[in-house]
Chain A
Amino acid sequence: EPEVTQTPSHQVTQMGQEVILRCVPISNHLYFYWYRQILGQKVEFLVSFYNNEISEKSEIFDDQFSVERPDGSNFTLKIRSTKLEDSAMYFCASSGEFGSEQYFGPGTRLTVT
């Protein structure tokens, strides 16, 4: 069964450093998403991406964040200058249609020290 994959599974970085989280969505999906989940809390929408551009973004997704689909398979989330409060689990998801079921990857646990 096709699945969304994410790398790395755990990333530790120092405050102020840049990090890139990588995702490979399901191959025939067209809509891609990033979510964040602080430990023990709800899943928070960050951004949606379609046709090589951002469809929608939340208030969390400020100028420190950017997304890119550098090739036909990868979808990346970059945090330019990490803060302590960026520590969370970051999930990538993809769907075949906007608003249809989303398939989540296993997540990248980001720890900012």
Chain B
Amino acid sequence: QQPVQSPQAVILREGEDAVINCSSSKALYSVHWYRQKHGEAPVFLMILLKGGEQKGHDKISASFNEKKQQSSLYLTASQLSYSGTYFCGTEIGRDDKIIFGKGTRLHILP
């Protein structure tokens, strides 16, 4: 079951904040966040696991509400380099495949 991401697209000015959401209709084991710039490969940002463990880059923050099966990615004081498409991917079980959402396109204006 594909996770649903919102919003589909965001335009910000440099320095502004953004929140990208990801929700699933199924109980999740983990949520993965990746960023993909145009014409490039997805780059790992963060994993959030059931039970509260997180692993990722220091400058990225995210939350995982296990009861609601929702995750949010917080981008604060956005920089031009944050532009790209953000994908969340969800796992139902520990050894399950990652199913990615359709992505949220983020465009940062100078």
In the complex the two chains form, is B41's CB within 8 Å of A106's CB?
yes
Q: Among B14-22, B72-80, B95-103, which stretch is in contact with chain A?
A: B95-103
How many residue-residue contacts, CB under 8 A, span A and B? 54
> How many residues of B are counted as interface, with CB atoms below 8 angstroms from the partner's CB atoms?
27
In the complex the two chains form, is B43's CB within 8 Å of A104's CB?
yes
Asked if B87 CB lies within 8 Å of chain A CBs, one says yes
With A58-B97, A101-B32 known as contacts, the answer to whether A42 contacts B87 (CB < 8 A) is yes
Q: Which chain A residues numbered 98 to 113 have a C-beta less than 8 Å away from chain B?
A: 98-107
State the A residues within 8 Å of B (CB): 41-45, 48, 55-56, 58, 91, 98-107
Chain B positions within 8 Å of A99 at CB level:
29-30, 47, 91, 94-96
Asked if B40 CB lies within 8 Å of chain A CBs, one says yes
Chain B positions within 8 Å of A43 at CB level:
34, 36, 42, 87, 89, 100
Smallest Cβ distance from B38 to chain A, in angstroms? 10
In the complex the two chains form, is A98's CB within 8 Å of B95's CB?
yes
Q: Which of A42, A102, A105 contacts B44 (CB 8 A)?
A: A102
